[in-house]
Amino acid sequence: MTRRVSLTQYLVEQQREHGRIPGQLRLLIEVVARACKRIAISVNKGALGDVLGSANTENVQGEVQKKLDIIANEVLIEANEWGGALAAMASEEMDSIHVIPNRYPQGEYLLLFDPLDGSSNIDVNVSIGTIFSVLRKVGHHHGVSEEDFLQSGKAQAAAGYCIYGPQTTLVLTVGDGVAMFTLDREQGSWVLTGENLQIPADTKEFAINMSNKRHWAAPVTRYIDECLEGKDGPRGKDFNMRWVASMVADVHRILTRGGVFMYPWDKREPDKPGKLRLMYEANPMAFIVEQAGGAATNGLQRIMELQPSKLHERVSVVLGSKNEVERVTAYHRDAA
Ligand code: AHG
Ligand code: MN
Ligand code: MN
């Protein structure tokens, strides 16, 4: 009989045999996974659960919140408040950090999340997800502030995402490769369905919102134009394009079969470095992608080496198959 490994067993083995994760981190990851299970249930109910549509409120980034953005945020906060592993949490949907209330024990970790990624896909029944990043609270000072969160992606203790698609899948790294778990709905448990995932270094597939083409910087246009020229162009091969508009889904495809994902800076809002958020979108995805042998840059620098200056900081993102990311990055360096 093939061995069926649960998330709990995987984490216990990481803790015991590999010494990779302390008990508090193990508990924390299990709680996040449990919260994702609850979010998955709401996502599945759709119209039957009255979870579709807009909440008619705006988040700190000026984006209109969907009902599920708020539900997912609440589920994650509630699930993670009392466990004792955390000092504070931060979310795309909250202006400032959420410190663990005094009635609960304080832990040594900080949790950041994009509770619901790909909000524009909720109402049209296309894959969406949850992204999370775990940092350690450094230093022994009392209390916790936003400053404590401003650490580079290299400092992440764990990162992951859950994709609510045809299957509900959790992808996780604790810095020892990337593992994948599929939710068994009958059993209510996460089952290990992939280990040491590797992104092929080369690809013939790119993901970018082409409708922004006229706003791009020259190196991005150069790269995409060369892809579009296909066999007859300098690349000498035909490329395929995919754009789900849920970062989680686009990254999941790349993790499964390779590809390059880009959400670059563009001229529409020249003062913003990009659309995606560094601390709870780009950093966790960069950690996962690098752990799977891929690369992630902002066009010039490795994403995980960027020093954040604020919680909701934005960043330009190029990630996925290593050789393609290096090519896009080289085009940016040429131009600079
Ligand atoms: P969120 O729903 O958390 O705000 O994130 C949406 C992001 C990301 O998931 C996706 O890659 C991108 O926005 C889609 O942008 P376009 O609308 O330009 O396609
Ligand atoms: Mn998002
Ligand atoms: Mn979101």
Rounded Cα–Cα distance for residues 54 and 97 (Å): 24
142 alpha carbon to ligand 1 midpoint, in Å? 37
CA geometry: angle 47, 168, 247, nearest 5 deg: 85
Confidence (pLDDT) at 225: 98
DSSP letter for 286, please. Answer: H
The Cα–Cα gap between 228 and 69 comes to: 36
Q: Which of 119, 109, 127, 107 is nearest to 61 (CA)?
A: 119
Report residue 239 as tokens.
Answer: 């490329």
Class of domain 7-194: alpha beta
Confidence of residue 1 (pLDDT cuts 50, 70, 90): low
Residues in the chain: 336
Residue whose CA is at the smallest distance from ligand 1 atom 14: 245
204-223 pLDDT per residue, tens = 999 999 999 999 999 999 99
**3 has pLDDT over 90:** no
pLDDT tens digits, one per residue of 233-288 = 999 999 999 999 999 999 999 999 999 999 999 999 999 999 999 999 999 999 99
- Top CATH class of 205-335 equals alpha beta
- Bridge-based pairing of strands 178-184 and 168-173 is antiparallel
Q: Whose CA is nearest to atom 15 of ligand 1?
A: 245
Q: What is the largest CA-CA distance in the chain?
A: 66
Atom of ligand 1 nearest to the CA of 250: 11
> Ligand 1: distance of its center to the CA of 117 in Å?
7
Pocket test for ligand 1, best of 163, 209, 247 (most atoms within 8 A of CB): 247
Question: Cα dist. 83→109, 115, 161, 194, 275 in Å?
Answer: 11, 18, 20, 28, 33
State which H helix or E strand residue 214 sits in. Answer: none
Q: Which atom of ligand 1 is nearest to the CA of 118?
A: 2
Distance (Å, whole) CA 313 – CA 321: 25
Topology agreement, domain 7-194 and domain 205-335: no
What is the residue extent of each domain of the chain? 7-194, 205-335
What's the pLDDT score for residue 9?
A: 95
- Distance (angstroms) between ligand 3 centre and the Cα of 123 equals 14
Residue 177 has pLDDT above 80, yes or no: yes
111-177-79 Cα angle (round to 5): 25
Q: What is the band of 141 on the pLDDT scale with cuts at 50, 70, 90?
A: confident
- 96 forms beta bridges with none
Q: For the chain, what is the mean pLDDT?
A: 96
Q: Is 302 helix (H, G, I), strand (E, B) or coil?
A: strand
* Cα 161-164-168 angle, rounded to 5 deg: 85
pLDDT for 84 beyond 80: yes
10 alpha carbon – ligand 3 mean position (Å): 28
